[in-house]
A and B are shown apart, each in its own frame.
Chain A
């Protein structure tokens, strides 16, 4: 596609429910990142996929968070048993190779009520 696509753009969920956030990277991009941004804050690293290598999961805040990338393309970030502190904008980015600029999607705004 022309850019990084994320869906849904907005998600309101009840506390305790599971949510899935989707990221479609730019075609051919081997590196994919997930970040979380709370209101007025910086980008918090969550997870990084590079090609077929094992992902770097060091930023996932708890075992309620998981992510996968199928076929080296689309990625899904899953949050189980959502909590109010999970409310944030979740941003996905991709890059052609690991040492080039990353392009960001528009993000998914998650609100847990």
Chain B
């Protein structure tokens, strides 16, 4: 089976840096995705990691350690518009389906 854990909620201040962690236990592994979801909207893709290490894309970076079953999403220079839910998803290696964690609700305050 699959088990994907994220903190339920985090708060941060505009301009700060925040790290959202994700741990997973799956029967196989074929990539980890991060999505952003604003309230009432569909999730949108942020990043994809399949090899260990850091992937940087503008203000957002994502890290993966396959041996530890661990990833994080790093958001720099936070803006009010970054207030959203951040969803970690793992592609199961055996069945290839994409399984999501429960998401982390981030609130950015002035």
By a beta-carbon cutoff of 8 Å, the part of chain A in contact with chain B is 31, 33, 35, 41-45, 48, 50, 56, 58-59, 91, 93, 98-107
Number of A-B contacts (CB under 8 A): 57
From B46, which residue of chain A is reached at the shortest CB distance?
A: A101
Q: Which of A35, A44, A59, A99 sits near B91, CB closer than 8 Å?
A: A99
Cβ-defined contact, B100 with A48, below 8 A: no
CB of B23 within 8 A of chain A? no
By a beta-carbon cutoff of 8 Å, the part of chain B in contact with chain A is 30-31, 33, 41-45, 48, 50, 87, 89, 91, 95-103
Chain B CB within 10 Å — which of A35, A41, A42, A45 has the most? A42
From A31, which residue of chain B is reached at the shortest CB distance?
A: B96
Contact residues in A for B100 (Cβ distance below 8 Å): 35, 42-45
Q: Which of B43, B96, B101, B103 sits near A104, CB closer than 8 Å?
A: B43
What are 8 contact pairs spanning A and B, CB under 8 A?
A: A42-B87, A42-B101, A43-B100, A45-B99, A48-B95, A48-B98, A91-B43, A99-B91
Mostly helix, strand, loop or mixed at chain B's interface? loop
Q: Which of B31, B45, B97 sits near A48, CB closer than 8 Å?
A: B97
Q: Given A42-B103, A43-B87, A98-B91, A106–B42 Cβ distance below 8 Å?
A: yes
Cβ-defined contact, A45 with B98, below 8 A: yes
Closest 7 CB pairs of A and B: A42-B102, A104-B42, A43-B100, A101-B45, A48-B97, A42-B103, A98-B96
Complex CA gap A32/B45 in Å reads 16
Contact residues in A for B89 (Cβ distance below 8 Å): 43
Contact residues in A for B99 (Cβ distance below 8 Å): 45
B60 to chain A, nearest CB (A): 14
Cβ-defined contact, B98 with A33, below 8 A: yes
